[in-house]
Structures are given as C-alpha cells and as structure tokens.
C-alpha cells in the first residue's frame, strides 16, 4: 500500500510573494510488487508547496488577461526551487531573456528554470518567443516543485518530469528537431509526444506567438495564430502516450507517475520557462483564467 507523508514548506521569497500556497507537499512511495511482475519502483518524493503571488496584484488588460510580465522587471517570477530569479535571467528591450551558458541542459548555479510563482488550473496563456541560432528552450505548464532525498540530502528533480512542455526550438539548426518521432521535438510540439501540425515556425531571431489553453483536461497548443496540437490529460490515451515516450514507467518511473497525474490533486501548477543553455527571449506574457 502506498504511504503518504505530509510535509509543509513555505520558502522565504521576495516581497512580491505574498501568500502561502496550499496545504503542504506530499511525499509518496510506490508499493513493492512481486519481483517477477514489478515495474521499476518509484522513489519517494515530495511535492513542495512554496509561497505564491497574489494574482490580483497584477494588471488586467482590456481582453481580461492578467499581464504577468511588465516588460521591465521580474516581479512575480523566481527560479524553480529558489527564492529569487537566477542571474542569467534578465530583462532586455521589454523581454525576459535567458543569457545562455552554452552548456545545454547542464544548468549552472546562476541559471536554472524560471517560474511564475502562481499555480493555474484552467487558463489560456499567451506569449511571444524567439531563440538564437541553434537555440533550445521550452514553456512548461501545470508544473510542480518536486524533491527527492538521497544519502540524507534533498534535491529538486527537473521541472520537466512533472509537467507537459511546449517545445521552443530553432527547428533548422538544432539537432533535436530531427530526433523523436515525426517531428514531435520541433517547436510548439508537446515535447516527445505530439508533433505540431502544421509546423509554421518563424526562423531563429524572429518572434513567434505561442498560445496554450488548458481547460478541464483538454489542452491546445497554438503557434503563430494556428492551433497545432490538441490532446487530453488524465485519460487512458494520455497514459499510453507517456508509455511510448522517454517518460515511460520502465524508463523513468518517477516522471511517469508525476506526468500521469500532472497538476496533482487539484489539477493546477506553475508556468515555467526553460534554461536549456541557449539564448532565448519571451515577451507579452499574459494569462486568462477560465474557471
């Protein structure tokens, strides 16, 4: 039988992080099965509930969207598993910029993924993005902050094992575009699962429009004013897609468990921007609540 441990964490955040979110994290461990039939065990983990911003303190535009990036500061944003934005994330010409380290996924101490410190459930997210030549990044949604322990030390697991990823990529010059299946690692794709069709990306150095809608399990990705991906969370089809991906229960049991239940019990999570080691820019970021 699975056991559940309650663990509450409220990080000391900047002054803009004003309320404590949720009832506390949950630590889980997989049941032990017979060795002949068992899948790989899921390690014990904790979903950490850190403080969240008050969305009402952010302006709404004429279309009813909350503007969650003011074009000048990183107010409301912080590093994944951190209490402030890492120094490689800056604001440049009205855009959030990640200043690449050139190290790919090998994140440095002054880097790491960036999240907006508010969990969303049913919403429509819009932003614009561009990448440098050969650039790679991503937009996360329904993300959780997840920790595990080893040898008495606590570490944060990668953000992408808890949530879907809208791929951000220079399709022409980054090798990831040719990996995966049928282009499912190209821009606007549900990373490693569903390719964006049509593939209508603007080239590196040019702005692209991204749109992500999540509503009661239905998810739609838009790119440059066209819907290019649609799928449904928390269904047998979603589980099957995970089993056929790099996040399968055999290859990565913790990722499979987290993604199969992405958003947790409340089906809500953070919006995040990925540090993949390359220069990338995001601007005009806004969210409409659909609850």
Phi, psi of 236 (to 5 degrees): -60, -35
Residue count of the chain, please give it: 291
Task: Determine the average pLDDT of the residues in 60-79.
Answer: 98
Tokens of 13: 């955040």
> CB 61: neighbour CB atoms within 10 A?
10
Separation CA 110–CA 181 (nearest Å)? 33
- Confirm if 281 and 72 have CB atoms less than 8 A apart: no
Separation CA 52–CA 116 (nearest Å)? 9
- Confirm if 59 and 281 have CB atoms less than 8 A apart: no
State residue 107's pLDDT score: 76
Tokens of 140: 């996360």
- In order, the DSSP letters of 95-145 are EEEE---S-TT---TT---EEEEEEESSEEEEEEEEE-TT-EEEEEEEE-E
* pLDDT at residue 29 tops 90: no
Could you tell me the pLDDT band of residue 189, with boundaries at 50, 70 and 90?
very high
For domain 59-145+162-289, is the CATH number 2.60.120.560? yes
Which residue has 């060795």 as its token pair?
Answer: 35
Separation CA 288–CA 167 (nearest Å)? 21
Phi, psi of 213 (to 5 degrees): -115, 130
* pLDDT at residue 139 tops 70: yes
* pLDDT at residue 170 tops 90: yes
* pLDDT at residue 67 tops 70: yes
- Confirm if 96 and 281 have CB atoms less than 8 A apart: yes
Task: Determine the average pLDDT of the residues in 135-159.
Answer: 96
Separation CA 187–CA 136 (nearest Å)? 9
Helices (H), 108-193: none
Could you tell me the pLDDT band of residue 39, with boundaries at 50, 70 and 90?
low
Convert the pLDDT of each residue in 198-222 to its tens digit: 999 999 999 999 999 999 999 999 9
CA dist 259 to 164, 186, 191, 201, Å?
A: 7, 20, 12, 27
Interaxial angle between packed helices 253-260 and 236-243, expressed in degrees from 0 to 180 and rounded to the nearest 10 = 160
State residue 21's pLDDT score: 37
Output the average pLDDT for the chain: 89
Give the DSSP letter of residue 60: B
Tokens of 248: 């399968």
Specify the DSSP element, H or E, that contains 281.
strand 280-289
- Give the start-to-end residue ranges of the domains of the chain: 59-145+162-289
Work out the angle at residue 83's Cα, subtended by the Cα atoms of residues 7 and 131, and round it to the nearest 5 degrees.
Answer: 120
| Centroid of chain to Cα 216 | 18
Separation CA 36–CA 229 (nearest Å)? 39
Tokens of 280: 């990338």
State residue 3's pLDDT score: 35
> Which of 24-33, 44-53, 95-104, 186-195 has the least mean pLDDT?
24-33
Separation CA 263–CA 144 (nearest Å)? 7
In the chain, the percentage of residues whose pLDDT exceeds 70 is 86
Phi, psi of 52 (to 5 degrees): -120, 155
Which residue has 């017979």 as its token pair?
Answer: 34
């Amino acid at each position: 039988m699975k056991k559940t441990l309650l663990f509450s964490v409220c990080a000391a955040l900047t002054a803009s992080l004003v309320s404590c979110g949720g009832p506390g994290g949950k630590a889980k461990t997989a049941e032990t099965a017979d060795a002949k039939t068992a899948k790989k065990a899921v390690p014990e983990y904790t979903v950490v509930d850190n403080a969240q911003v008050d969305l009402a303190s952010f302006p709404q535009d004429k279309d009813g969207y909350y503007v969650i990036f003011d074009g000048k500061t990183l107010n409301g944003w912080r590093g994944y598993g951190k209490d402030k934005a890492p120094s490689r994330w800056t604001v440049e010409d009205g855009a959030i910029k990640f200043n690449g380290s050139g190290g790919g996924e090998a994140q440095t101490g002054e880097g790491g993924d960036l999240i907006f410190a508010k969990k969303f459930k049913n919403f429509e997210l819009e932003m614009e993005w561009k990448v440098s030549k050969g650039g790679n990044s991503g937009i996360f949604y329904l993300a959780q902050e997840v920790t595990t322990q080893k040898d008495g030390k606590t570490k944060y697991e990668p953000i992408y094992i808890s949530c879907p990823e809208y791929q951000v990529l220079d399709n022409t010059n980054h090798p990831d575009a040719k990996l995966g299946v049928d282009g499912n690692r190209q821009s606007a794709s549900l990373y490693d699962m569903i390719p964006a069709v049509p593939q209508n990306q603007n080239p590196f150095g040019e702005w692209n429009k991204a749109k992500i809608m999540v509503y009661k399990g239905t998810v739609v990705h838009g790119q440059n004013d066209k819907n290019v991906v649609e799928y449904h969370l928390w269904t047998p089809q979603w589980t099957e897609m995970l089993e056929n991906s790099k996040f399968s229960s055999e290859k990565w049991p913790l990722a499979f468990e987290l993604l199969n239940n992405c958003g947790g019990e409340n089906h809500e999570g953070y919006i995040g921007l990925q540090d993949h080691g390359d220069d990338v820019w995001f601007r005009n970021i806004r969210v409409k609540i659909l609850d």
